[in-house]
A and B are shown apart, each in its own frame.
Chain A
């Protein structure tokens, strides 16, 4: 009752002087008594909402969230100007039928839509809200936007045992699709294509260091280069501008001894964020290990913390986000392992544990083509 009265009075008496708080926080000096008196006498000691919003909109997400704890006016103002990124959604590819499911991890909601365009095709990669798919029967390769259902076809190519990725949305003029095929331990065949081209460009390149390319490799596009991580952890880098392929002299990320168990070659993930490359090694009997590539010192550094980053790991392509609400920071989000259970599981790097806690999670058991992280849609119009 009293609370409600207080609130009403606040709305009416926006210019009434407010009593100064007795400082309880330890501070060196704090506000002088003159300042406190000045605040008291100043009938406009409360900053009007529109000015407050102008101040708060200049804070980053963390600072904004902190400011929201000052008082109710600040809570309302900070929420109204808050800008947070959306986490990606998890897309589940149907084994039978055309019903595709999308899971939003921030609100734990599933949406479904029938997408017959995907019949007979296999997921290859996802980036910037677009999927790349392959139809083994017809060798057709195409881009698909699952929300707008736009299709962009590419010339055909035999891609059955190859990993393939692309640099950015196919609607961008600089979009390039890249795939690498194993010819011999010292030779790879690299094919590239951009939307609008009538054929793929293929060329052979030497591997100075042994490098095996297979469907188990990981690909990311970072700083204008395609990075390819082999099964044994060697990094091959393709420069589309220079048209060069180099196996980097960077020792593979150290794979812990006990990681060489069943499915060890499958539970690996690679993501890119702001020019940094992250690799996640998982094992059913131990917690995941994360490495970041130190390009200057040419080594993989094990990460004990992610500095506020959240990684979304799926076999074919993974994503990274900062400044998100609704999902945990410094965590890795995985799709569920088997048919039953939650859609999505997370591992907290800060707390060294999975949520929910289980005996073990074997990411090698996952069907690699069953699910993939993809950018969230701008709105829910695709699902009506």
Chain B
């Protein structure tokens, strides 16, 4: 792949997904990722990302491009983009947050963590386990103790506890 042309002002980088697919991106946009920024400072232009699959990388690039063009006037526009961006399945969100964490994109980590919090806040314990694929590692006695200590939080009361794993 040709490296950045001398006539262009903007330096380009190449990000390579775990599936070996390559994506060109402006350096000024890519350095929203702390991880990529570090590698650029070490003179890398081809950035291998073995922890990020193609599908997820495409989404992350889309996010960074949108947030790279942030100005005072398009704040509302970016808010809308963010709102739509998190309308994804739990699996996709999980891939994204792990990738964002690995790539050190603070604003994206915040956005995704908030989305997770909003989606799981009314979920039952069993639904949360299903969503995250977490086995119950409490013994029956330990689990009973955890429930007993704060019975009040597990009672349905007036609010609806959601048992679906969507």
Contacts and interface: CB of A to CB of B under 8 A. Distances in A.
A103 to B, nearest CB: 23
B43 to A, nearest CB: 29
Interface stretch (A70-78, A139-147, A189-197, A281-289): A70-78
Contact of A27 (B132, B147, B165): B165
B154 A47 contact: no
Interface stretch (A32-40, A226-234, A334-342, A372-380): A32-40
B132 to A, nearest CB: 7
A323 to B, nearest CB: 11
A68 interface: yes
A20 interface: yes
B97 A35 contact: no
A29 B164 contact: yes
A31 B152 contact: no
B150 A54 contact: no
Nearest to A328: B152
Contacts of A20: 130, 133
| Interface secondary structure of B, over-half rule | helix
A42 B98 CA distance: 11
B150 A70 contact: no
A24 B126 contact: yes
Interface string A1-32: 00100100010000000111101111111110
A246 interface: no
A58 B110 CA distance: 10
B134 A35 contact: no
Interface stretch (B2-10, B30-38, B57-65, B113-121): B113-121
Interface stretch (A59-67, A114-122, A217-225, A294-302): A59-67
Contacts of A68: 146, 150
A5 B109 CA distance: 34
Given A23-B130, A65-B150, A70-B128, A35 B91 contact: yes
A266 interface: no
B57 to A, nearest CB: 15
B153 A65 contact: yes
Contacts of A36: 133
B23 interface: no
Interface string B95-130: 101100100000001100110111011101111111
A31 B117 contact: no
Given A19-B135, A71-B135, A329 B130 contact: no
Contact of A59 (B89, B98, B121, B139): B121
Given A6-B137, A36-B133, A58 B117 contact: yes
A10 B137 contact: yes
A30 B117 contact: no
A54 B113 contact: yes
B33 to A, nearest CB: 16
Interface string A266-281: 0000000000000000
25 contacts: A20-B133, A21-B135, A25-B124, A25-B127, A27-B127, A27-B163, A31-B130, A36-B133, A40-B133, A51-B101, A51-B109, A54-B110, A54-B113, A61-B153, A63-B122, A67-B120, A67-B125, A68-B146, A68-B150, A69-B146, A69-B154, A70-B128, A70-B134, A70-B136, A325-B150
Interface of A: 3, 6, 10, 18-21, 23-31, 35-36, 38-40, 42, 44-48, 50-51, 54-56, 58-63, 65-75, 325, 329
Interface of B: 51, 89-91, 94-95, 97-98, 101, 109-110, 113-114, 116-118, 120-122, 124-139, 143, 146-147, 150, 152-154, 163-166
Given A21-B130, A27-B163, A71-B137, 18 more contacts: A6-B137, A23-B126, A25-B163, A26-B163, A27-B165, A29-B166, A36-B133, A39-B133, A42-B133, A47-B97, A54-B113, A55-B116, A56-B117, A63-B153, A65-B154, A69-B146, A70-B132, A74-B128
Pairs of residues from A and B, 4 with the lowest C-beta to C-beta distance, nearest first: A39-B133, A58-B117, A25-B126, A65-B153
